[in-house]
Structure 1
Amino acid sequence: MPVDLPAIPEGESLSQTDAALDAMMTRLRALLDPDDLSQDAFVEICAIYNNVAYLFLYLESNEAHVDYKRLLPWRDAFHRDAELAAALLDRLLSLRCDDPEAEEARTSYIASLRAKLKAGLDHKNDALHEQLLVEAKDILDETRQDLARLLQRIGSANRTANPYATFYKLSSSTNSATTRAKLARAWHASRDRRLDELVRVVDRMVDTRRQESRDQGADSVLAVTLRRCQISEAAAWRFIEQYLIGSLEHQQRLDSEVLGATGASDQAMDHFGHYVRGIQAGREVPLLPVEGCLSFIRHVALHLFGLTLTEAPARANSQVRAFDVALDGRPIGQINLDLWETGSRRRTTNTTTGIRNRTQWKTIVQRPVAYVSCRFRRVEDGSNRITFQNVHSLFHEFGHAVNHLLIRKRLPTQSGLEYLPLERLEDLSMWFEKWVYHPQFADHLNLSPTERDGLQLCREVKQLEYRRSHLDRAVTAALDFRLHGSQNDGIKEAFQRLDEEYGISAHCTLGDFPPYFTWPMFQANPGANFAYLWGAGTSAQLFVPFLGTAVESAGEPEDIRDAFSSCFEFDQVSIQPDTTAIFAFYEERTPQGERSPYRVAHATAEKGEDE
């Protein structure tokens, strides 16, 4: 019989969530009480752990709005109780499952529990990790205050705005190249005022992980992380290096475009915002209809993957739209669209959370649930509109949701995320985000000619921004890989070594990178940030054949699902993507040289300004 899905925390009090966790723990202990564990009981235990993972992933995604600290002891109770883990291990050792996949999961779970018990479940370094992360974030907060004060001194302060966004707007609207260069120097000096302090904290974070890896008998932090990959350390570095070299070559081309268009003499990226502003050239940036965007991505899911999304009846006052998902008429899960109206609730990014694992053996089913947040604006006519950037994020997270629903076999973990090798986690999400570039996208939006032109502008700007980020992403991945593969170097030394080998300082500085090491991906999978590069390359290769094809005639869903099997099957081989694919995808679709709409007259007028 199906295992019940957990209740959605939306609209529930923390007391109710506390009661739900208590009920799950009570049921878990009841299942472990008999000396013998049945296959059905094992599957239910997997479901319980998946539900716990879901609850905390959802709460974490809403931490700006929900203070759930008093629930954290429950996470420890499920995942850090050595007595409970030992009891579960004991029952699993005596169990034999008739179903081959259930038996495979049982043996994998045994290996996981043994490793946890051997390493110790008290997580002595957790408190130190959290302390160092708080210290790093405090430094970054102080840096933001420094930058806000700089903006105030130059008369561009906005107490409620992000100082980085405010500075970008200021620089891009400044016509004088000389003034933009001066602004950039002042900005970087203020940003790097606390750099040495931040570097020391990041190095301590890395050293703590190094000690943990030595305690596990591993050669490095990277070696531990790569256990969750299907590629070797040598293969991973070969890919990163190819991407880095390609990024440097691309950056030189982009620099030439920007300098040639803006009339600046050097430091091209100090003038990038102004270059983008010139491309806009007075064209209007539209807000897109939410319903049209949802209609299009559901259309893609239906015709390419055979997924039918049927909206469930809305609950009173609910800000969640639930879609029951079926494959060939068979229910396989649910995608919940979490609505966030700009101005009423704030969230920094669109996020997908949910039950990241599914167990499905015979008639015992736990179906996955995914959450996709949708940031929108309600305009004067009462309709809901969304920015192009938020559509891009929405499609990206929809790809993660499809991954959750179509994954073929996996084992529940504390994070609920380890259902594919790390290098393939972003393949499908990055593929889905590229549908904003498909010609049929505009057809689903019922846009006016002016709005269609505005949509094309948004595409051009997004593509340029991605091109600008190539080198930043490559250096970040290389630093992460080198730092966690070493037992000695700090981030400064790792940057210097990369500069000696590849000359990266011609285009970036050390101060660009330490903040990234406070991000969740770096905390969870140190050394594996190259997964984003891998996903970028793979998704570009996979998407190009669809770009010139109508959605309805792209092929049979079963064949397409098979073609994407590496996104759904852990045991598939990880094939290194062609690093040139991602550069070609964006570079061939952005205005350059003579095709650029950036006005020559604009650059000429700029030179003649009073500087």
Structure 2
Amino acid sequence: MANLLEGFVETRNVSASGFREILDAIDQRITLLSHESALSTHEFVELTALYNNAAYILLYLDANSAHIEVDFLEHYREALGARRPRNDRLIALIKKVEVDSRELEVSKDAFLEFFEQKAGIEEKREADAVAELRRRGAVWRENLDREKSSFLARLGVNVGSSRPDAALYALLSGIESSDVRRRLGAAWRDICERHNDELCSLIDRLVAVRKESAAAQGDVSITERTLRYSQLDVATVRNFLDCSLQIARAEHEELENDLNERYGPGGVRAHFASRVALVRAKEAPTSVALEPCIKFALKIAHDHFGLDSCHVASAPEHMITYDIMRCGKRIGRINFDLWGEHLGRLTNTTQGLRNRTNWTDIIQEPVAHISCRFKKRPGQEPTINFQNAHSLLHEFGHALNHLLVTPRLPNLSGLEYLPLERLEILSMWFERWVFHPAFESALSVGSNKPVDLEKAREIKRLEYVRTHLERNVLAMLDFELHQGTAPISEVYAGIDQRYDIAELCPLSDVLPCFFWPILMERPSGYFCYLWAAASSAERFEKISKRSEKLEDTNVAWELEFRDCFEFDAPSEMPNIAALYRFYEKPNTNINPKDSL
């Protein structure tokens, strides 16, 4: 079992029949273990490693279906996932495994949860009901988009493959009359609010299904179930959201007043797109070379975490792969799979495809897979825009988190094991580097002229200022809705009564968000993104106060980010004001009269 499946990680040129042999061997070993009268701790760890590696191979093959014949995947998904008699035997065996550490206890609980969800009638009933409501939510969204598209068509705008909201944004950005923009913004809000009752009813039913399932499993509320994966209690989260929402409301009201003073009534809804267009000045989005962006991320990892990197030349053509080293020893691997637009990817993600294991002779190194949907221009050197660079650094932070997290058991991923409020801290800290002068310097190396990022940074800053209130209202609404018994319209009315937000952030702005994957997967947990944003901004301030040079910002970063790598480290309340300070004034030298 030494260095489990290391041959697969190294070669990548395994044939389809070779993959089947590996999966068959894994499947047979799992069956043998399931017939044991009892499992030792060592055999339990081996079992988790077998399942983790099988999942890794299946995901790898699925991502490379254009290059490898994969018609056998469904067979192995079924064999490894839903083989009921074997699963029942494994559940009984795992329940009897004696553990002597918190790490083993958490791993055992996670493994049992994985199997019991496949076997439990209540969990299946909840999953089926949620899937149906999710489908109805998608139909609702399609109908609303159709109505919005018809409205735009009457104005002579062909939406095409864009979303209607993006088409409206483009339209507003080119209209000179502030009064026309105001009337268009008001009409758009009317369209969105016309279907509030229907969507509220869907969301209330979704919450009811979850509450019924939570009660059947002994949980007081969905919030309680979600906070099992957190170190925070309800009071701490409430206090955090209250403080953050108050600051966000004041910030948004200032933005609203500035736009009204500049353009007349209509505020953010009518005039923000025009304001951004003024900053952009009809110039194309900033384009930067991809290779320096990746090397910049690797340099941050080197200078702040003592990590070296080595390019893997044998990686597939469509993928960029680096081994990550410490003191000359490889600690893991990162795959950059960036050109996924043609595959229909909707988001940029990082998956911990293979988890760390270091248990007696069961050893494997973690692998992280960064999957993005950037556009590739045939015949040109790979380039990405500023937003893509921001996303790339964010996903790199997730990948590094997966490689550096300390659990030694294979079913505890760096992207799953930590308390949920700390899952986004390192990734958000990395994304802030696009605002650091060292980023500009890195992109200019080997270039004929310095890379100008001023306008791109100012637009990004403005976009964050515009969305802070909406994110805070959504987090508060998500948290309170899943904790109590009131319908969503009443919960929102209560928030409005306390914070006076209805005109600045109407309910129709946040209702569709409840069908986002992140809110579907972790109801009541959206607050973690605000928590991580504040925590990462607070830590980044230490860099800004030290030096403009990357290598001169020497801090004990492993200690600084201990909570990103160790489960038992405390979750400390971040300095909320640091988040808003980061965006409160331009990070550029743009003329003050052109900035808000």
The verdict on a shared fold, with TM-score over 0.5 as the criterion, is: yes
Give runs of aligned pairs for residues 467-482 of structure 1, distance below 5 A: 467-482=465-480
**1:506 match: secondary structure:** coil
Whether 1:543 aligns to 2:540 is yes
TM-superposed CA distance for 1:44, in Å, is 2.2
Please tell me whether the aligned partners of residues 228 and 422 of structure 1 are also in contact (alpha carbons under 8 angstroms). Answer: yes
Please tell me whether the aligned partners of residues 287 and 384 of structure 2 are also in contact (alpha carbons under 8 angstroms). Answer: yes
> Structure 1 CA distance, aligned partners of 2:19 and 2:378?
37
CA distance change for structure 1 residues 89 and 512 in 2, over 3 Å: closer, same or farther?
A: same
> Structure 2 CA distance, aligned partners of 1:502 and 1:69?
55
> Structure 2 CA distance, aligned partners of 1:412 and 1:12?
23
CA deviations 1:152-173 (Å, max 9, x no partner) are 1111113222222111010111
Give runs of aligned pairs for residues 226-241 of structure 1, distance below 5 A: 226-241=227-242
Please tell me whether the aligned partners of residues 53 and 415 of structure 1 are also in contact (alpha carbons under 8 angstroms). Answer: no
CA distance change for structure 1 residues 73 and 512 in 2, over 3 Å: closer, same or farther?
A: farther
> Structure 2 CA distance, aligned partners of 1:305 and 1:286?
30
TM-superposed CA distance for 1:195, in Å, is 3.0
> What letter is aligned with 2:482?
H
Whether 1:336 aligns to 2:338 is no
> Structure 1 CA distance, aligned partners of 2:193 and 2:68?
33
CA distance change for structure 1 residues 294 and 117 in 2, over 3 Å: closer, same or farther?
A: closer
TM-score normalised by the chain length of structure 1 = 0.87
Please tell me whether the aligned partners of residues 339 and 376 of structure 2 are also in contact (alpha carbons under 8 angstroms). Answer: no
CA distance change for structure 1 residues 364 and 229 in 2, over 3 Å: closer, same or farther?
A: same
Of residues 434, 437, 443, the one that matches 1:436 is 434
Q: Please, which moves more after superposition, 165-174 or 542-551? A: 542-551
> Structure 1 CA distance, aligned partners of 2:302 and 2:551?
9
CA distance change for structure 1 residues 546 and 231 in 2, over 3 Å: closer, same or farther?
A: same
Whether 1:587 aligns to 2:584 is yes
Q: Which residue of structure 1 lines up, in the alignment, with residue 265 of structure 2?
A: 265
> Structure 1 CA distance, aligned partners of 2:76 and 2:397?
30
TM-score normalised by the chain length of structure 2 = 0.89
Q: Which residue of structure 1 lines up, in the alignment, with residue 529 of structure 2?
A: 532
CA deviations 1:335-365 (Å, max 9, x no partner) are 00103065x5543322111336422224422
TM-superposed CA distance for 1:475, in Å, is 0.5
> Structure 2 CA distance, aligned partners of 1:467 and 1:176?
24
> What letter is aligned with 1:554?
T
> Structure 2 CA distance, aligned partners of 1:439 and 1:207?
49
TM-superposed CA distance for 1:28, in Å, is 1.4
Q: Please, which moves more after superposition, 418-427 or 323-332? A: 323-332
Please tell me whether the aligned partners of residues 308 and 325 of structure 1 are also in contact (alpha carbons under 8 angstroms). Answer: yes
Please tell me whether the aligned partners of residues 158 and 166 of structure 1 are also in contact (alpha carbons under 8 angstroms). Answer: yes
Q: Which residue of structure 2 lines up, in the alignment, with residue 565 of structure 1?
A: 562
Q: Which residue of structure 1 lines up, in the alignment, with residue 552 of structure 2?
A: 553
Q: Percent identity?
A: 34
Q: Please, which moves more after superposition, 269-278 or 529-538? A: 269-278
CA distance change for structure 1 residues 125 and 399 in 2, over 3 Å: closer, same or farther?
A: same
> Structure 1 CA distance, aligned partners of 2:79 and 2:476?
37
**1:229 match: secondary structure:** coil
CA distance change for structure 1 residues 522 and 379 in 2, over 3 Å: closer, same or farther?
A: closer
Give runs of aligned pairs for residues 362-381 of structure 1, distance below 5 A: 362-378=360-376
Please tell me whether the aligned partners of residues 301 and 308 of structure 2 are also in contact (alpha carbons under 8 angstroms). Answer: yes
**2:351 match: secondary structure:** strand
Of residues 48, 51, 56, the one that matches 2:50 is 48
Give runs of aligned pairs for residues 454-469 of structure 1, distance below 5 A: 455-469=453-467
**1:352 match: secondary structure:** strand
CA deviations 1:574-609 (Å, max 9, x no partner) are 00111111000111335799824269xxxxxxxxxx
**1:310 match: secondary structure:** strand
TM-superposed CA distance for 1:49, in Å, is 2.5
Q: Please, which moves more after superposition, 10-19 or 327-336? A: 10-19
CA distance change for structure 1 residues 332 and 465 in 2, over 3 Å: closer, same or farther?
A: same
Please tell me whether the aligned partners of residues 534 and 577 of structure 1 are also in contact (alpha carbons under 8 angstroms). Answer: yes
Give runs of aligned pairs for residues 464-543 of structure 1, distance below 5 A: 464-486=462-484, 488-543=485-540
Of residues 425, 444, 453, the one that matches 1:446 is 444
> What letter is aligned with 1:369?
V
Q: Which residue of structure 2 lines up, in the alignment, with residue 2 of structure 1?
A: 3
TM-superposed CA distance for 1:544, in Å, is 1.3
**1:241 match: secondary structure:** helix
Please tell me whether the aligned partners of residues 591 and 597 of structure 1 are also in contact (alpha carbons under 8 angstroms). Answer: no
> Structure 2 CA distance, aligned partners of 1:68 and 1:166?
39
> What letter is aligned with 1:308?
D
**1:445 match: secondary structure:** helix
TM-superposed CA distance for 1:29, in Å, is 1.5
CA distance change for structure 1 residues 28 and 190 in 2, over 3 Å: closer, same or farther?
A: same
Please tell me whether the aligned partners of residues 540 and 585 of structure 1 are also in contact (alpha carbons under 8 angstroms). Answer: yes
> Structure 1 CA distance, aligned partners of 2:94 and 2:185?
60
Please tell me whether the aligned partners of residues 3 and 365 of structure 1 are also in contact (alpha carbons under 8 angstroms). Answer: yes
TM-superposed CA distance for 1:311, in Å, is 1.1
Whether 1:326 aligns to 2:325 is yes
Q: Please, which moves more after superposition, 27-36 or 103-112? A: 103-112
Q: Which residue of structure 1 lines up, in the alignment, with residue 280 of structure 2?
A: 280
Q: Please, which moves more after superposition, 353-362 or 242-251? A: 353-362
CA deviations 1:233-292 (Å, max 9, x no partner) are 11111111111111111111111222233x222433321111111122355532100011
Of residues 9, 24, 27, the one that matches 1:25 is 27
> Structure 1 CA distance, aligned partners of 2:524 and 2:312?
41
Specify every segment of 5 or more residues in structure 2 that has no aligned partner in the other structure, as ranges.
Answer: none
Q: Which residue of structure 2 lines up, in the alignment, with residue 606 of structure 1?
A: none
> What letter is aligned with 1:361?
W
TM-superposed CA distance for 1:95, in Å, is 4.9
CA distance change for structure 1 residues 17 and 364 in 2, over 3 Å: closer, same or farther?
A: closer
> What letter is aligned with 2:133?
L
**1:390 match: secondary structure:** helix
> Structure 2 CA distance, aligned partners of 1:176 and 1:596?
20
Of residues 28, 34, 37, the one that matches 1:35 is 37
Specify every segment of 5 or more residues in structure 1 that has no aligned partner in the other structure, as ranges.
Answer: 600-611
Please tell me whether the aligned partners of residues 296 and 441 of structure 1 are also in contact (alpha carbons under 8 angstroms). Answer: yes
Q: Which residue of structure 2 lines up, in the alignment, with residue 302 of structure 1?
A: 302
CA deviations 1:430-486 (Å, max 9, x no partner) are 001011111011111127798633x11101100110111110110010010011001
> Which structure carries more relative contact order (alpha carbon 8 Å, separation 6+)?
1
